[in-house]
Amino acid sequence: MGNQDPSNTGDNDDNGAPPLGGRDNVERALRQEVHVVHFPSPRAGESITVTTPGYGTYSDTVQAENNPYAPFTSKRDFEFAMWAKTRGPGSNALDELLKIDGVQEDLGLAYKNTRELNKIIDTHLPSSRPRFRCKEILVAGEVFDVYYRDPLECIKALIGDPNFATDLVWTPERHYADPDKTIRVYHEMYTGKWWWNKQKEVERNKPGATIVPVIISSDKTRLTTFKGKSAYPVYLTIGNLPKELRRKPSLQSQILLAYLPTTRLEHITNKAARRRTIANLYHACMRKILSPLKKPALDGTPIASGDGVVRRCHTIFAAHVGDYPEQVLVTGVKTGECPCCPVPRDELGNHEPHPFRDLDAVLNALETADIVLRAQACAAAGIKPIHQPYWEDLPYSNPFRAITPDILHQLHQGVIKHLVSWVRSAFSETEIDARCRRLPRNHHVRVFTKGITSLSQLTGREHADICRILLGLVADMPLPGGVSPVRLVRCVRAILDFLYLAQYPVHTDNTLALLAEALDRFHVNKDIFIQLNIRTGWNIPKLHFLDHYRELTIQLGSPDNFNTEYTERLHIDLAKDAYEATNSKDEFPQMTVWLERREKLFRHKRFVAWCLAGRPALVSLLATGDAPPRVKMTKHPSKPAVHFDTLINDYHAKFFREALTRYAVRLRHPQYTDAQVEELSLNARQLPRSVAVYHKAKFWLGDEQNPRLLSDEFDVLHATPARKNKRGQVIDGHFDPAMINDNQGAYCGVTGYRIARVRAIFSIRHKDRIALFGDASHDAPPFLAYVEWFTDFTNPVANLGLYKIKHSVDQDGERLASIISLDRIRRSTYLFPVFGALVPREWTSGNVLDECKTFYVDSFSDRHAYHTIY
């Protein structure tokens, strides 16, 4: 163990201890039955009439007798069109292809060039989504073009999409984790308090309302790498759609609403005037775009869902998703201030509760007629004197409560970015990089072979990768001058706890309490960075915003409803790809037309699939079906016949023969004691000469006992020997540690589990199974694993909150090993080597699991590990 092990510093008060005691109850509460309280008014979300379902009208428009692909002549004709417009080359290249003699005839295409294909799409495929318009916006005496759609028609298109018909939610609910209804559960928007309160507010005046929470996202993005062209897309979606559908671009559940002007107004030399004009331009454009939502929000408007049911819908602006500059622009506050609350800029780091900004005071200030008095009133209300902000007259809306938590920019690209920088300043960069290079490989963990201190312009994914290893890097590293590292370690642990808790897809009152407690722990210990002369203050807006996560989750649902990572992905499909389809001259008209055609084809593709399926009743896209098999193996082994000597030498399965013998005896005689098994093993039957070996196994990480929480997360465990690549270089072997269930382990927690390193995954041929296992061969599992054991879990190390384990050895110092059924493995596990004060330079990423004697079990290798290893 290193000289600076935080567990041995003598500074072990409770200010930094992770809240591990209650985690078991917290995690189990997330997986038990939810108790639902429906909105009390029976008229909420009521149907007012029924009309033709979505596919019915579409079918009448395009359907030809015995041809589900119409207006395309055949399946090939349609699929070639889909490829050409969504995956294929540019228009000129496609025209050249179709001009090749015989290509069009041999493929049986009804069009000879791009122009004819576009004509079919434009004239024969009906559009379910509104066309783009181009309007001129006059700001500060200058005219700007804005391309946009009618937002009300976009909402009607989303609600009327037959694919979403059975998954849309129409009324708010309260969810509880206990029968006594004392522990609230928050996940989708309809489980938060905002929707419930708005329903009550609207119902008082207009009973029978259906709330449609409108979610707007906006963010600039670069279209080119070198030419400097950019776009300013605005996206729209609705909270009635489950978040699982909203975050999948392939389902087109987010609509491109507008392209805003991207001018920098460089001709305005005064910087303050330029910022003011840019803000006024933004709000003028958004005001023009969203103005059709005002009357429906107040009075409601009939909208038909995909199943033909018509409801009176109130389209209420609920959330605006964006990074910090976007949040400042939307709310009209000054850069460096909080967009939600009026905390003074020099008190951002105080970690004290502040109410949200007073909307009435802001609106009153904006209504002041005199220019000078208006500026003074706005300053007193805490915003800039924007000319008619777009949210000013949107009914039932509050922009300061519409700013949402953002995992990507606030946490990964904000707080984590700062934290990594502080850690680099606190410790030796050489030592940090040396530890990075010597961390073992794992399916979930990236090994930074050149370290992390030289990295620049990191992406959110790279910061997430650093989070997986950050606590292990600082766990026992000394600070200069003999300063105790305990408080710094506590800060790292606290921020990582907050990050991983914030990403929970389901929250309860208890998880939110843990979230707040993690933030408290950071603020209690953060002065270590001031002591080390790394920080002089804490007036960081993104860090301060973490104070609002708990309340915003209670109001709007879990933060994963609004992550800007989703819009970053939309930039590729709806901005960058659209630009690539243009000739780079006057691009926005071409981009909007390309997007409209693309949307038509995707809708037609879904219609064709529905027709080919026999026009079935509408089904949920969230239907879980059966749980996948927990262990998934390749059809054929990596090596069909590996001799025991090879297993011993290449796979380091030193006691494979003895372990297999004991396993066979135990299987044949399950009632025998360990002594009897050992005695009988000395006179064992003939062992097979070889076994079939697999170099990896895939494990489903979902919970079989909770079908409603079926997950698509998988883990891959490797047991691969060293090999040479094509250039003759040796590639280190990869043998993962894993969590082994002793048949008592549950989905959550480490009780009933033990860590072991998997050296070989294998199966025994049928004829050898009979010879080895005798009458018990039918009970023998199909796949086995040779593992080397670590010591049992004990109490977590103080301040770190990680379990410490060692290799299990016998009296002679040999590592204890055995053979187990592969299905006893829960998942792979990541181990941090206990490096000590200085990492031994002879250790490498390939040999560290063999050379190191003591390890910490990582809880942060992935989100599933955080749920289960505590």
Asked whether residue 2 carries a pLDDT value surpassing 70, the answer given is no
The Cα 213–Cα 15 span in angstroms is: 41
Whether residue 71 has a cis bond before it, omega within 30° of 0: yes
Is the model more confident about 712 or about 123? 123
Instruction: Provide DSSP, 21-37.
Output: TTHHHHHHHTTSPPEEE
pLDDT in tens, 760-801: 999 999 889 988 888 888 889 999 999 999 999 999 999 999
DSSP string, 507-552: EEHHHHHHHHHHHHHHHHHTHHHHHTTS-S----HHHHHGGGHHHH
In this structure, what are the phi and psi dihedrals at residue 785, rounded to the nearest 5 degrees? Answer: -140, 135
CA–CA distance, 354 with 701 (Å, rounded to integer) = 40
Cβ-proximal residues to 528 (8 Å cutoff; 6+ apart), any chain: 483, 487, 488, 491
**Under 8 Å between Cβ of 407 and 560:** yes
User: What distance in Å separates the CA atoms of residue 818 and residue 824, rounded to the nearest whole number?
Assistant: 13
- Which of these, 568, 523, 513, lies nearest to 543 by C-alpha position? 523
Tokens representing 227 are 């030419």
pLDDT tens-digit series, residues 611-665: 898 888 888 888 666 778 889 999 999 999 999 999 999 999 999 999 999 999 9
Q: In the predicted model, is pLDDT for residue 219 greater than 70?
A: yes
779 and 667 Cβ atoms separated by less than 8 Å? yes
Q: Enter the tokens of residue 328.
A: 């400042």
Residue with the bigger pLDDT between 180 and 13: it is 180
pLDDT band at 4 (very low <50, low <70, confident <90, very high): very low
Q: In what order do the strands lie in the sheet with 631-632?
A: 631-632, 696-700, 714-720, 734-735
Q: Residue 725 has what pLDDT?
A: 87
Q: What is the DSSP letter of 413?
A: I
Helical segments of 766-857, H only: 766-773, 848-851
Return the domain boundaries, the chain.
6-34+406-560
N-term to C-term CA, the chain: 22
Q: How far apart are CA 410 and CA 552, in angstroms?
A: 14
Among 219-223, 366-370, 400-404, 772-776, where is mean pLDDT lowest?
A: 772-776
pLDDT at 487: 96
Q: Given a cut of 50, is residue 855 above it in pLDDT?
A: yes
pLDDT (0 to 100) of residue 695: 97
pLDDT, tens only, 511-558: 999 999 999 999 999 999 999 999 999 999 999 999 999 999 999 999
Chain centroid offset of residue 257 CA: 24
Tokens of 704: 């079989």
Which residues are bridge partners to 315 per DSSP?
212
What pLDDT does residue 621 have? Answer: 85
In the prediction, which pLDDT does 713 show? 84
DSSP 8-class letter at 478: P
- How far apart (Å, rounded) are the C-alpha atoms in residues 815 and 821? 19
CB under 8 Å to 91, separation ≥6 — which residues?
A: 114, 581
Report which of residues 678 and 207 the model is more confident about. 207
Mean per-residue pLDDT over the chain, rounded: 91
pLDDT in tens, 390-415: 999 999 999 999 999 999 999 999 99
pLDDT at 12: 45
> Cβ distance 38 to 547 under 8 Å?
no
R_g (Cα) of the chain, nearest Å: 31
pLDDT above 70: residue 345? yes
* Helices within 382-485 (DSSP H only): 399-402, 416-426, 429-437, 460-474
| Residue type, position 75, single letter | K
Give the type of residue at 65: E
**Can you give the pLDDT at residue 14?**
52
**Range in 131-135, 596-600, 708-712 with the lowest mean pLDDT:** 708-712
Q: Which amino acid is at 266?
A: E
Strand runs (DSSP E) across 209-291, as ranges? 210-218, 221-222, 230-231, 233-238, 255-259
DSSP assigned state of 403: B
pLDDT band with cut points at 50, 70 and 90 for residue 82: very high
Lowest-pLDDT choice from 11-15, 69-73, 279-283, 615-619: 11-15
The model's confidence at residue 677, banded by pLDDT at 50, 70 and 90, is confident
Span 715-743, average pLDDT: 93
Residues sharing a CB contact under 8 Å with residue 812, sequence separation 6 or more, in sequence order? none
- Cα–Cα nearest to 788, from 811, 754, 824, 762: 754
pLDDT class for 11, splitting at 50, 70, 90?
A: very low
User: How high is the pLDDT of residue 60?
Assistant: 79
3-class secondary structure, 99: helix
Question: Which of 131, 119, 129, 127 minimizes the C-alpha distance to 81?
Answer: 119
pLDDT tens profile 471-508: 999 999 999 888 999 999 999 999 999 999 999 999 99
Q: Which tokens go with 722?
A: 């060293």
